[in-house]
Structure 1
Amino acid sequence: MLLNTLLPNTLIVLLTVVGMELFAAFAHRYIMHGFGWGWHRSHHEPRQHWFELNDLYAVVFAAIAIVLIALGTAGAWPLQWVGAGMTAYGALYFIVHDGLVHKRWPFRYIPRRGYLNRLYTAHRIHHAIKGREHGLSFGFLYAPPVARLKSELRDHQASLREDAARDRHAAASGDDGENATPPPRR
């Protein structure tokens, strides 16, 4: 009997952790760097206090996990395991993102190679682009290859330099920009 419940429940937890990474990457790109930028902006600015407005996202997801666990233990079978998977993802996020990458607790290790270095470097590259647009690497537990991210960052920085040079040229020539060809959207 134990195997009949342990295996499916464990599978639900693991699939939920994977699903949360997919959802978190989507939410980070399209919500946090979209209409939810009001909360997330605090995460891209120098931290003034221990808490930042962006931490409200963690509170929202924790509340959802608590409700799922409560509903599941009240009889809606798989929901407690989905909530447990969300909680496991939240713990991993706290350890890797808040601890390893952002040093929000007294954990000062900087990985030099392997998976943790890839996560660390990818998230640092994410923060190298100021503002909410043109971001790179939105996942928290998965990161694209660092070489690809560095190449994309170089391309982005070159594009910014080209735009600035075009703006300086237009200002120097007295062109108000009405007759100028708009820069390509990136």
Structure 2
Amino acid sequence: MDSLLYYLIPMMLVVGAVAFMEWFAAWSHEHIMHGWGWGWHQSHHEPHDAALEKNDLYAVVFAAFAIALYFGAAWLWPLWWIAIGITIYGVLYFFMHDGLVHQRWPFKYVPRKGYLKRVYQAHRLHHAVKGRDGCVSFGFVYAESAAKLRKKLQDDRRGLPTSAREDRDQRPSGH
């Protein structure tokens, strides 16, 4: 039994940290990045040719937190496994969001079916709205179906006064 727990507890910490990070990333994307942290995140919603954008500072903050946990593991061993989970989430984010959705790698791949297509479409629908208000789909690994997200966008658009719709339509498009 002890040998089972020896492997089970770290595995649960890693999987739990990855799951928590998807929740936290979606929450912080909606409430921080599209809120008071828009100053950094705005660069991500505007066209640009640069390899880096100010929004990448969020990845640096999350990486610094994971690194701090690795160092903290010298005093509290579970922190090591939590840091590994956060690191795994960072790798997933890099491949799913920066690579797959925004094509920030040297080749182009657009998924045609399945889970990857769902994530791709959901994040593209996130960028369908100009500016920070009225966006849908704030997660990076989990995504609602494109049909549900399109309905949310339509419902949101219908709820706006005409002047607000016209104002939103005049804003420059994101990438």
TM-based fold match above 0.5: yes
Correspondence for 2:162? 163
For residues 59-74 of structure 1, the aligned pairs below 5 Å read 59-72=60-73, 74=74
Residues 93-149 of structure 1 show CA distances to partners (whole Å, capped at 9, x for unaligned) of: 000000000000123111111111110000000000011111101000011121111
The answer on 1:27 being equivalent to 2:28 is yes
Give secondary structure in 1 for the equivalent of 2:54: coil
Correspondence for 2:151? 151
Instruction: Tell me whether 43-52 or 53-62 shows the greater mean CA deviation.
Output: 43-52
Inter-partner Cα distance in structure 2 for 1:111 and 1:60:
30
Correspondence for 2:173? none
Q: Give yes or no for contact 2:157–2:165 (8 Å, CA) kept in 1.
A: no
Correspondence for 2:40? 39
Q: Give yes or no for contact 1:62–1:87 (8 Å, CA) kept in 2.
A: yes
Correspondence for 1:96? 96
CA RMSD of aligned residues (A): 1.8
Correspondence for 1:10? 11
Displacement after TM superposition at 1:10 (Å):
1.0
* Higher RCO structure (Cα 8 Å, ≥6 apart): 2
Q: Give yes or no for contact 2:17–2:85 (8 Å, CA) kept in 1.
A: yes
Q: Give yes or no for contact 1:100–1:107 (8 Å, CA) kept in 2.
A: no
The answer on 1:122 being equivalent to 2:126 is no
| TM score, norm. by length of structure 2 | 0.88
Greater gyration radius = 1
Inter-partner Cα distance in structure 1 for 2:104 and 2:111:
16
Percent of paired sites with the same residue: 55
Task: Assess, with a 3 A threshold, how the Cα gap between structure 1 residues 166 and 78 changes in structure 2: closer, same or farther.
Answer: closer
Give secondary structure in 2 for the equivalent of 1:141: coil
Aligned residues, how many?
A: 165
Correspondence for 1:80? 80
Give secondary structure in 2 for the equivalent of 1:109: coil
1:110 aligned partner, one-letter code: V
Inter-partner Cα distance in structure 1 for 2:13 and 2:51:
34
Which structure 1 residue ranges, 5 or more long, are not aligned?
168-186
Q: Give yes or no for contact 1:99–1:107 (8 Å, CA) kept in 2.
A: no
1:100 aligned partner, one-letter code: L
